[in-house]
A and B are shown apart, each in its own frame.
Chain A
Amino acid sequence: MWTQPESLNSELFTLTYGALVTQLCKDYENDEEVNKQLDKMGYNIGVRLIEDFLARSSVGRCHDFRETADVIAKVAFKMYLGITPSVTNWSPAGDEFSLILENNPLVDFVELPDNHSNLVYSNILCGVLRGALEMVQMAVDVRFAQDTLRGDNVTEIRMKFVKRIEENLPAGDE
């Protein structure tokens, strides 16, 4: 059921992503703007990636946010980035959690210079998660709470459930 992706040199991936971010920095010259663009690009990737994910894994619909969190951490991240973040810091209402990434393949070999202290280098991941979940009728808010590139110990992505998207619900889903 799972087809092994052909192996692509992960360093080429890191280099490609790096070239993308630095070009965006040159084009926009403003960290906030670059963050926004990365999020937009991630969104466009996410809306397509979700179908690939659903087609290749056999996960069914998640019925609550905890299930969603587990699927994202254990199946999706593993499938696409080869890492398994841990799910922690659940809010009391169960609508917010953190993904703690021990290592992030996007930032191998990367150091943020001082003049880009507001840049969220891996912001594309936020867009990907947001886009993918929107296609399965979940509106979420995703942001980086901690980033090893900015001096924190771990990289922490905070995901908050906003609402279920009721328009265009596929028939048969209540």
Chain B
Amino acid sequence: MAIFSVYVVNKAGGLIYQYDNYVPRAEVEKTFSFPLDLVLKVHDEKVIVSFGQRDGIRVGHAVLSINGVDVNGRSTGDGKEILEFLKDSANYPVSIRFGRARLTSNEKLMLASMFHSLFAIGSQLSPEVGSSGIEMLETDTFKLHCFQTLTGIKFIVLADPRQAGIDALLRKIYEIYSDYALKNPFYSLEMPIRCELFDQNLKSALEIAEKAGTFGPGS
């Protein structure tokens, strides 16, 4: 769990592969009675807590499921609007699960394209000629490492800031890509990667990287 996710971006900036490796984040399920003491609001097609932190439910957590049924954006599984549903006292007691909202695949696509552009801006901003693009982005909770091959494909790994050996991991992922994606004749270049062997080998490479922190020669 020290390596959070892997993204592979093609030459044009489109996301062709994404893998999330984090342990399910803290999710809290509680039964509530009317009236609800959390203030909820709709944000970005999700219902999130805007005020009223308690018992592990934090501001910013999204409603993930109601009464065991996963929600669909702003509506419950059966299509009712969540906020309307929760205003009606007849629906209580209700059991709601809160947690940090996951990124949807569309959001990931958008973020990958955005990163592709920022990567290019990084190299243009540089005072030195011939600088590379963004190689690392650091925040207090994670570090994003990016490796661009000579052919323009980018391999991006989000990991714990203390995780070592990510450079070697990025090279290893490049090798795995050249083996299990490219050598599969049915895989078309620049298209989303849907190769089982690629997934499997990537997962084991991530496990090795997390444990050992580094790759030995010839592995």
Chain A interfacial positions (CB closer than 8 Å to B): 1-4, 47-48, 50-52, 54-56, 60-61, 135-136, 168-174
Apart from A54-B178, A61-B150, A172-B122, what are 12 other A-B pairs with CB-CB below 8 Å? A4-B218, A48-B183, A51-B149, A51-B151, A51-B178, A52-B178, A55-B171, A55-B177, A169-B152, A170-B152, A171-B120, A171-B148
CA distance A50 to B189 in the complex (A): 12
CA distance A56 to B177 in the complex (A): 12
CA distance A4 to B217 in the complex (A): 12
The digit string for B114-141, where 1 denotes a CB below 8 A from any CB of A, is 0000011011100001111100000000
Q: Which residues of A contact B178 (CB under 8 A)?
A: 48, 51-52, 54-56
Contact A171 B119 (CB under 8 A): yes
Chain B interfacial positions (CB closer than 8 Å to A): 11-12, 119-120, 122-124, 129-133, 148-153, 171, 174-175, 177-179, 182-183, 189, 217-218
At the interface, is chain A mostly helix, strand, loop or mixed?
Answer: loop
CA distance A50 to B183 in the complex (A): 11
Q: Which residues of B contact A55 (CB under 8 A)?
A: 149, 171, 174-175, 177-178
CA distance A136 to B29 in the complex (A): 52
Contact A172 B131 (CB under 8 A): yes
Contact A171 B179 (CB under 8 A): no
Q: Which residues of A contact B174 (CB under 8 A)?
A: 51, 54-55
Chain A: minimal CB distance from B43 (Å): 33
Q: Which residues of B contact A54 (CB under 8 A)?
A: 149-151, 174, 178
From A1, A168, A171, give the contact of B133 (CB < 8 A).
Answer: A171
CA distance A135 to B182 in the complex (A): 13
CA distance A52 to B182 in the complex (A): 8
Q: Which residues of B contact A174 (CB under 8 A)?
A: 129-130
CA distance A61 to B177 in the complex (A): 20
Contact A170 B217 (CB under 8 A): no
Q: Which residues of B contact A60 (CB under 8 A)?
A: 150
CA distance A129 to B133 in the complex (A): 28
Look across to chain B and name the residue whose beta carbon is closest to the beta carbon of A61: B150
CA distance A4 to B122 in the complex (A): 37
CA distance A50 to B129 in the complex (A): 26
Query: Can you sample 29 A-B contacts with CB below 8 Å?
Result: A2-B218, A48-B182, A48-B183, A48-B189, A51-B149, A51-B151, A51-B153, A51-B174, A51-B177, A51-B178, A52-B182, A54-B149, A54-B178, A55-B149, A55-B175, A55-B177, A56-B175, A136-B150, A136-B151, A170-B149, A170-B151, A171-B122, A171-B123, A171-B148, A172-B120, A172-B122, A172-B130, A172-B133, A174-B129
